[in-house]
């Protein structure tokens, strides 16, 4: 039973962290015209790829972090700790 709950807690944490990143990013875009330093972002890209003879794939994962998205991430983690 505890193993199942652990997986559910992990899923809750991941969903909250993604929601926090999105909330922070949207907030940064909204406040950006008045506080331009909130729009300054660092883009992190990861591109795994494989080229086999019969199969070829190419994926791109990209995360755009700014000050408010990091704040949203911290807020989401704090909320997770409170509901846990």
Give the pLDDT confidence of 2-37 residue by residue, as tens digits.
555 577 888 999 999 999 999 999 999 899 899 988
Domain that holds residue 12: 2-83
Beta strands 61-66 and 41-46 are: antiparallel
- pLDDT for the residue 53: 80
> Residue for token digits 């193993």?
3
Looking at the 3D structure of the chain, how many domains does it have?
A: 1
Give the pLDDT confidence of 39-77 residue by residue, as tens digits.
888 999 988 888 888 888 888 988 888 999 999 999 999
CA dist 44 and 19 (Å) reads 18
């Amino acid at each position: 039973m505890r193993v199942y709950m652990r997986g559910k807690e992990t899923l809750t944490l991941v969903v909250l962290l993604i929601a926090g990143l999105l909330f922070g990013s949207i907030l940064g875009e909204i406040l950006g015209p008045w506080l331009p330093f909130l729009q300054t972002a660092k883009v992190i890209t990861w591109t795994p790829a494989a080229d086999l003879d019969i199969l070829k794939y190419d994926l791109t994962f990209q995360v755009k972090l700014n000050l408010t998205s990091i704040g949203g991430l911290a807020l989401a983690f704090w909320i997770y700790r409170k509901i846990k």
